[in-house]
Amino acid sequence: GIPSKEYEVLRRKVINGVQELWYYARAQLKKLRKSLGPEAQKTVDAIVEDISVYKRTIHIDLDEMRKADGYEKWREQESKAIGDLVQKRLTKLQNPKACGSAKRLLCRLNKGCGYGCQIHHATYCLIMAYGTRRTMVLHSKGWRYAAGGWETVFKPVSNSCVEETGGTRATWSGNDDGADVLEVPIIDSIQPRPKYLPLAVPKDLSERLIRLVGDPALWWISQAIRFLMRPQPEIQQYLAKAEKDMDFKGPVVGVHVRRTDKIGTEADFHSIEEYMEFVDDYFAKLELQTPGVKRRVYLATDDPKLLGEARQKYPHYQFYGDSQVAKTASLGNRYTSESLRGIILDIHMLSKCDFLSCTFSSQVCRMAYEIMQLSHVDASKRFQSLDDIYYFGGQKDHSQVAAYDHTARGASEMDVRKGDILGIAGNHWDGYSKGVNRRTGKQGLYPSFKAVEKVDVVEFPPYEDDDDGHRNEVK
């Protein structure tokens, strides 16, 4: 059978509620602990540990409930069906019958930023191409990561249409449908802002995605990345060999620690202990199901000393990782082909982990999280970020809808009425999120559990599917 959308949305809401209750209890008790004497502190520590055990068992029960509800086969099939549908549409869009007469969208891979940010730039271009029904032409010769361009690493974005010559040209102005070749600037500066930008979700897929996954926008972005990042055979072999050489197997948690160029500018310093706290929690849950489970971590970092430190501090863990990769990731070596292979490997391995503990201020971790979606029906909850919530750089406003009223307690909180649209700035992982109430214009904190995601459903141009999109639905 097929589950109702209401059932699937509620099932995920309960999972999220349990998690938010744990964030709240844990943070409040840790705060309280600071004002107590040593004996009372021990009591608080025991309470936090007990609550964590409760949380883990409820999560296990909810997992089991999902497996027992009779819909697992449908979830697997529906996930594959929608994914295949999108890939088919992208393949068709990117390989027009006559390139010369096809409307094209020109994207230059020269954005002045790191690898993750550049792949995200290409991702934005492909989403824009889909939104304007144009074939994306990617200019990538002289790419700072591989002078030979995109194709030295990934398969070409088109087999038949790689030239932007011929026809009329325009740069995005919002009303340039007539131009044969349309060039788009970087997402940060595109004006007027296209409705297709993330976190938009195409309307003709939205109902199916809202039923299937916890974060439809993330799923949609991951499909664009899936189309783009098809490795060339040589890279494919390199990844397979590296995986085999390290004898990589699960269950495994991916930890990404970003230090060299972000600290003090875009991100704060986080100790290895902060990341490992969530790794411990993940394995403690598995331990309840499989006593004696081997604890494995894939550690990706640009700090070459960290792997040794982690192994010393956590001897009961097996750490995968390569301090050579860390060396090439540090600033001086960042744009070498060695470094490119290292970053591709790290993202690949992180995406193959069962859970991620990292900082979403980093593109690398967000990209691993995006690619991780492709290995699961719904991997939207398989992460813990120490700072930001998931975002796509340059995205439109990220909104939530208040599901319950909230009366502010103190100056830092804000009043919320059920139905209010809240622009979310971040989740503090302590039971509260920060945002702006669009009705009142006030900014402040509100309890995270009192709001739900507002999916940004946007009308994209129609795509005629050979096997009609709706018939592709799994019944």
Least confident of 60-64, 209-213, 325-329, 414-418: 325-329
Supply the pTM of this predicted model.
0.95
- 139 in any annotated domain: yes
Residues 117, 62 share a domain: no
Domain end: 221, 241, 266, which one? Answer: 221
Looking at residue 339, its pLDDT comes to: 82
Would you say residue 17 has pLDDT above 90? yes
pLDDT-based confidence at residue 472 (cuts at 50, 70, 90) = low
270: left (phi over 0), alpha (psi -120 to 50) or beta: beta
Instruction: Give the separation between CA 353 and CA 411, rounded to whole angstroms.
Output: 41
- Return the ∠ at Cα 307 (arms to 305 and 309), rounded to 5°: 70
- 214 in any annotated domain: yes
Contacts for 408-415: CB closer than 8 Å, 24+ residues apart: 408/444, 412/444, 412/445, 413/444, 413/445, 413/446, 414/440, 414/442, 414/443, 414/444, 414/445, 414/446, 415/440, 415/442
- 80 in any annotated domain: no
Domain end: 191, 221, 251, which one? Answer: 221
Residues 301, 241 share a domain: yes
The 10 Å Cβ neighbour count of residue 239 is 17
Residues 300, 241 share a domain: yes
- 463 in any annotated domain: no
* Cα radius of gyration rounded to whole Å, the chain: 23
Residues 296, 262 share a domain: yes
Helix, strand and coil percent figures for the chain, each rounded to 5: 45, 15, 40
Residues 130, 17 share a domain: no
Residues 196, 248 share a domain: no
- 104 in any annotated domain: yes
Whole-angstrom CA distances from 414 to 204, 409, 443 are 36, 8, 7
The number of distinct structural domains making up the chain is 4
Residues 367, 436 share a domain: no
pLDDT-based confidence at residue 388 (cuts at 50, 70, 90) = very high
- 465 in any annotated domain: no
Residues 255, 131 share a domain: no
In which residue are the tokens 């649209």 written?
Answer: 421
CATH code, domain carrying 261: 3.40.50.11350
- 78 in any annotated domain: no
Residues 255, 369 share a domain: yes
Looking at residue 267, its pLDDT comes to: 65
Coil, strand or helix: which one is 362? coil
Residues 251, 148 share a domain: no
Looking at residue 329, its pLDDT comes to: 65
Element (H, E) at 312: helix 306-313
- 36 in any annotated domain: yes
Residues 248, 362 share a domain: yes
The domain in which residue 24 lies consists of: 5-69
Question: Tens of pLDDT along 439-467?
Answer: 999 999 999 999 999 999 999 999 988 66
Residue length of the chain: 475
Question: Tens of pLDDT along 417-445?
Answer: 999 999 999 999 999 999 999 999 999 99
Residues 169, 136 share a domain: yes
Please state the rounded mean pLDDT for residues 378-384. 99
Q: Residues 429, 191: contact at Cβ < 8 Å?
A: no
Domain end: 357, 385, 413, which one? Answer: 385
